Structures are given as C-alpha cells and as structure tokens.
Structure 1
C-alpha cells in the first residue's frame, strides 16, 4: 500500500511538470496598421476660375416693371452710366401728388398766419380774448408742422422717382444679368452684376484637411488652361472659415500678381502650390493616443523573417506633436518619418513591446500607405 501511494505521488509530480513545460504562449493579436506617407501639396493641382475681387449686384430700391436694360454681359461701364430703368409713371404721379399736398399745406399756413396777425391787432385794442389768440397761434403751429411733413413727403417721392434709374457706381465690366425688359422686378432683386477688372483672384476648392496645412504666406503657381506654359505667381489671400458641408472643401482665393490678358475674368486656370511649400504628414485621429502627458502613436516593427502570409511584429509607443488638420485627421508636426508603419485602430488596448499580427489598411492602398 505504501509503494502504491508513492508511485501515485510520483506520477502526479511528473504530470504537473509536463503541464508547466507545454504551457501555451499568449495569442498574437492582429492590429490594423498603415505606412506613413508624406502629403506634398506641391504635387497636386486644382482647377479654378479667375474672379474679380470687387463686384456688386445692382438692383432697384422700388418695385417696378423693367423698361430698358442698356448693357449686356461683357460690356464696359463707367461711373454714373445708366444701366437700366423701370416704368416711372406711378412714381411720377406720386411726386405730383406730393407737390399738390405741399401747396395746400402752405396755403393753410398762410391763412393761419393771417389769423394770428388779425387777432393780435384785436387783442391790442381789447376787443379779443387772450384765449382766442392762443387758439390762433396753436393753429399756426399745426399748419407749419403740416408744411414740414408735406416737404418731407415730396422729397421722399422725388427720391423714389430717382430710383427708377439704375446707374453704375464704379467703372467695371458686366459679368451677369438677372432680369429682362418687360419683367417685373422686386426691390433688391439683382438686375446687373458689375465687377472691377482689377485686382483679380484665382478661386479654387481645396480639401478641408489640406487647406488647414497652408501657411498664411503660402505661394502658388497659376497657369491658364489654354496656355499652361505661361504661369504666373499667386499668393494666398483668403481661406473660407467653414468647409462646405457636402463636399468638405474650403474655398481658397489666391491673389494674382499683375495678371496678363490671358487671365480674363471667368477663364479656367490650373493652380498648384509652390514646391517650396513644406510637405506634411497626416493621420486619422483614431491612430493617435491622447493622454494627459501628450500625444503618442504605436509604431509597428515588422519581423522580416515572418512569412508573407502571416506578417508578425511588435509595437512601441512613440511621442508625437500634432495639430488639427480637419476631416477627422491630425497633422504630425514631429515624431514620425515617411515610411514608418503605425497602428491606426485599437490604440487604447495595445501594450509596449506587444507581439502583433500586422494587417494593412486596405482603404489606403495595397501596401497600407496612410495619406
């Protein structure tokens, strides 16, 4: 019995030792990753149009039927030139009515003034009461106020009559028309658009994240599509404060330096950033681990000895400096170089030195580049 017990205890010890030797290692975790690529704005071009920096929509200040429009698209106008006119019959009648009302009010004031003079004479002789004189003076004050009101009404009617003619406020070229003769136009409705020939801008639409990487003094090369070998220099003048909610692009206005005749208003141009512009690296916000002590990314090191069908590697935490880039992306100012591979998902659950199964992000190309 003692021998049997000893053999059973020895077998148990041997079994425990075998279990310790065959303990399975922790599973290798798959991680979605992408290789860092540089966004070189100088390598990308955008198609835009040449637009006037200063333009105005001319409209009537009163309702009326358009009688004449003296200009068409492309016509040049000078300050004070007659552009269009509406039917002024009703406005003319209003002026005449105001003139008649003013004459009536002036006659009433003269009558009131004569009454005051007569009662003052009677009062001096003691044949008129003081109350009668007070009433006469009050009537004169009311008649005088009525005259001033009628004068204001006449001035208002004359101003409205002047609104029947639409004149250019500055020298420019007609770029658009909004009404035809015979059409009834409302007050404020655009009839003619006039633009100053100079200065001119090249206007393009740029992705929101890319617009966020432009410096205030960014320079561009602008060339007309009909003559791409004749480019001129341009400088960033304005970036739209908000992105278009549908296209997620921002409107960029580029000031053109002394544009030649090829850059006429409305012409199509091709714009690209000056190659001296600094390239940038951007990553999705999900790829950056943000903590109280800074921002970090998980750099993935691939084991080259692993088979191509199952690429294994490890991860290491690296601090980076970031800036907003828009569209759910962050601009990497320092800490990363082009060609390095980073984890772009699950960054909150990785550990330093952890073994991972490297998966490329299929959305960024066959090799997993992060644009």
Structure 2
C-alpha cells in the first residue's frame, strides 16, 4: 500500500517542480534561423537566343541552262576563287545548236551579198531609167530584209555561244562552298540550285525569334553576341534583317544579326548566342533558392518586420538566369525574403533573420 502511494506521489512532485520552475507558463518553441535577403535589381533584363555564324552574302549558284551534269569539281567546305569552275553540263546539245546557228549566219551573209549586188545593179539601172521605180523598191526591200536577217542571226549566234559558256558553272566571287545539291549524272533545270556559296567578307549570326515575341523586336535594335569559342567576350551588334513571315514548320521568324565591329573572330558555322536587352523598367530579382511553387503558382516567403513571422507571397517571375530569377510582380525592394530552406517553412512561422554569415539582421526597409 505504501509502495503504491509512493509511486503516485513521485510523478506528481516532479510535475509540480517543473511547473514551479516555469512560473506556470508553457515553454515557447525556439525561433528557427532563416537566411534573408532583399530583392535586387536584375543585373540585365535580357533574353538569349542561340544562333550560327553565317556569311552575310550566301548566293545560291545555278546553271543558266538545263542539262546533264557530267563533272562536279568542288566539294562542300572547299574554298574557291572568283571565276573558278565548279561543275559542267554535257556540252553536246549546246555545241550542236551553236554549229547550227553558225551555219545560219553563213547563209544570211551569202544572201546579203546577193541582194546587195542586185540592189547596186538596180540602182544603176534606175539612174538610167531602164527599170521602173516599183522594181527598184522591191529590190531595196529585199536588201534591207537581208541586212536585218543577218543582224538577227548574228544575235542568235551570240546567244548560242553564251549558252555554250553557260555549260560551265563558275564562282561569282571568292568564298567557301557551304552546300552542294547535285551529283554527277543528275539532270538539272535552268535556275535549279547546285551550290550555295558563303562569300568572303562580313559575318553575321542567324537566329530565330519565337512567334509570340516577334512584335518586341525591330531592325536596327542593339544586341550583344557571345561566340562559343570566346565565352569571356561579348561583341556588340544589331538586328540587320528580320523575316516578315514565320517558318511554316518551326513557326519562328528568322533574323540576321550583324556585328558592329569590322574585326570579329567569327568563323563560318560557329555557335553563338545573341542577347537582346528588354525595354522598360528593370525588374527586381531574388536568388533561385528563394522561389518555390505549388500548383503552378510561384511564391516566396516574406518575413514580417514587426513580428518576424513568415508570409507566403505569390509572385510572377521571368526567365531564369544562372543563379537568380527576375520577379515581375509581387515584391517590393523593401521586402525581406527567405533565401534558403524554403521547402520546410510554413505560414505564420516565427523565424530569426540572419545573413549569409549567420549574423542577426534587423528587418529595416531600404532607404
């Protein structure tokens, strides 16, 4: 009996002792430390677009006549000089046409000699009044027609001779063959692309803008270009050309970016990235670790300066950068945002604000 009473008295005495130590008040949970920062202006409100270095002039080379390709003298990537032969067509047909036209020229010359002699003879007879005026007019008309016919045939001969030269495709200027679209034995039509030439000279960057953002860009707008081979440098440039129609497959608008400087170490085919600066006010930004999301809605934890308690604040964010994200709506520069451990926080939780060096922070708004 005594042992039972003793066993009940010991917990009761311990409870009274603990209550006496706390003066009758329940113990408060300790405020957990939370690293806080204030939003900073975004370093640069930019959008980046991948691109490829291309030649400013890229003519598509084609034969001016149709025929069968019998020789292909260059390969893709090969450097060519002005007037260098690139490919040849079977010249047999154009040679036959040239010979036929040459024979027509000889016949027209012989005919002109005949009518010229008749014209001179009838002119003498007319002066002696041995032929009528109408007879002389007929001979004169034949002579004029013979001259015109010879002129016409000579022009056709020049065309045939040019077509014989057109059987050889030559480079219009120095450059590099960037594309080849024919093989030996293939029959091509006049004007069908055979090669694409990347002409020597200025270099540009070909990029594509998304359909929903095309209205934000304009010709002449300043940009900066970063080459993959020189990622520590950026070269100034501008949008030189903007396609008026979207690509039917990708639904993007092609644009060409020209370098402002004359000497840029850009080689054909190099990868590049074009940075376009957004207009308007520069948004605030917070560290990536400060942003969380639920059900598609991004939010941050903001500390109330008066009570040091947490408030969940929905925000609208922009494109992510390497370590920060712009906040387009939902924050002020004077807010204090929890920058780490946001996944374990809850609404109304009391925290102890600290900086990156674990020093206490007084929650005062920026001036």
TM-score (norm 1): 0.59
Q: Tell me how far 1:45 sits from its aligned partner.
A: 2.7
Aligned to 1:210: 213
Q: Tell me how far 1:244 sits from its aligned partner.
A: 4.2
Query: Is structure 2 residue 112 aligned with structure 1 residue 105?
Result: no
Aligned to 2:71: 68
- Deviations along 1:60-79, whole A, 9 cap, x unmatched? 11111112121111111122
Q: Tell me how far 1:123 sits from its aligned partner.
A: 3.5
Aligned to 1:221: 225
CA distance in 2, matches of 1:105, 1:67: 35
Q: Tell me how far 1:270 sits from its aligned partner.
A: 2.7
Tell me, yes or no, if the aligned pair for 1:105 and 1:146 is still in contact at 8 Å: yes
Aligned to 1:338: 329
CA distance in 2, matches of 1:217, 1:170: 31
More displaced stretch, 228-237 vs 133-142: 228-237
Q: How does 1:83-94 map to 2 (within 5 A)?
A: 83-94=86-97
Tell me, yes or no, if the aligned pair for 2:225 and 2:272 is still in contact at 8 Å: no
Aligned to 1:253: 256
Aligned to 1:161: 164
More displaced stretch, 95-104 vs 198-207: 198-207
CA distance in 2, matches of 1:123, 1:277: 90
Q: Tell me how far 1:175 sits from its aligned partner.
A: 0.4
> Compared with structure 1, are the counterparts of its residues 41 and 95 closer, same or farther at alpha carbon in structure 2 (3 Å cutoff)?
farther
CA distance in 2, matches of 1:122, 1:242: 74
Aligned to 2:351: none
Tell me, yes or no, if the aligned pair for 1:41 and 1:273 is still in contact at 8 Å: no
Aligned to 1:296: none
Larger Rg: 2
Q: Which runs of 5+ in 2 are unaligned?
A: 1-40, 284-327, 332-367
Aligned length: 248
Tell me, yes or no, if the aligned pair for 1:48 and 1:269 is still in contact at 8 Å: yes
Aligned to 1:114: 117
Q: Tell me how far 1:227 sits from its aligned partner.
A: 5.2
Tell me, yes or no, if the aligned pair for 1:98 and 1:150 is still in contact at 8 Å: yes
* 2:201 counterpart SS class: coil
Q: Which runs of 5+ in 1 are unaligned?
A: 1-37, 282-336, 341-371
CA distance in 2, matches of 1:58, 1:232: 32
- Deviations along 1:159-203, whole A, 9 cap, x unmatched? 111111111111111100111112111100111111124311122
* 1:55 counterpart SS class: coil
Tell me, yes or no, if the aligned pair for 1:213 and 1:280 is still in contact at 8 Å: no
Aligned to 1:185: 188
- Deviations along 1:68-107, whole A, 9 cap, x unmatched? 1211111111221111111111111111111111111111
TM-score (norm 2): 0.60
- Deviations along 1:110-151, whole A, 9 cap, x unmatched? 111111222333344443333322222122122122111111
> Compared with structure 1, are the counterparts of its residues 173 and 129 closer, same or farther at alpha carbon in structure 2 (3 Å cutoff)?
same
Query: Is structure 2 residue 97 aligned with structure 1 residue 79?
Result: no
> Compared with structure 1, are the counterparts of its residues 141 and 258 closer, same or farther at alpha carbon in structure 2 (3 Å cutoff)?
closer
Match of 1:46 among 44, 49, 60: 49
Aligned to 2:300: none
Q: CA RMSD in A?
A: 3.1
